[in-house]
Amino acid sequence: MLFFILCSDKPNHGELRASTRPAHLAHIQPLADQGRLIVAGPIPSQPSPDPSVPVEGSLIIAEFDSLGDAEEWAKNDPYALAGLFSDVQIRPYRKALP
């Protein structure tokens, strides 16, 4: 089953995000290696391809066996463990296209 994990950063936590990013990416990599990751990436504060634009959160869409498994995975994300997020929403997702 697919789930989306939508995370909102706490204000002014850009340095924490940057310092925790390598561990966060390492946490996501097994999902990619297993073919379970649909998409993952940061949510910029404004429309721009410029990577220096501040980030306000993250979106991950991936396959998990259950909502509980998605919640457990999200709870152990290094960003979450470091206290980066003010809010995390986890919901089922149904891919329609493409």
For 18-27, the pLDDT digits (tens) are 999 999 999 9
Mean pLDDT to the nearest integer, 41-54? 92
Residue 49 is predicted with a pLDDT of 87
What's the pLDDT score for residue 75?
98
In the predicted model, what is the mean pLDDT of the chain?
A: 96
- Annotate 46-95 with DSSP letters as a single string: SS-S-TTS-EEEEEEEEE-SSHHHHHHHHHTSHHHHTT-EEEEEEEEE--
- pTM of the model as a whole: 0.93
pLDDT per residue over 2-39, tens digit each? Answer: 999 999 999 999 999 999 999 999 999 999 999 999 99
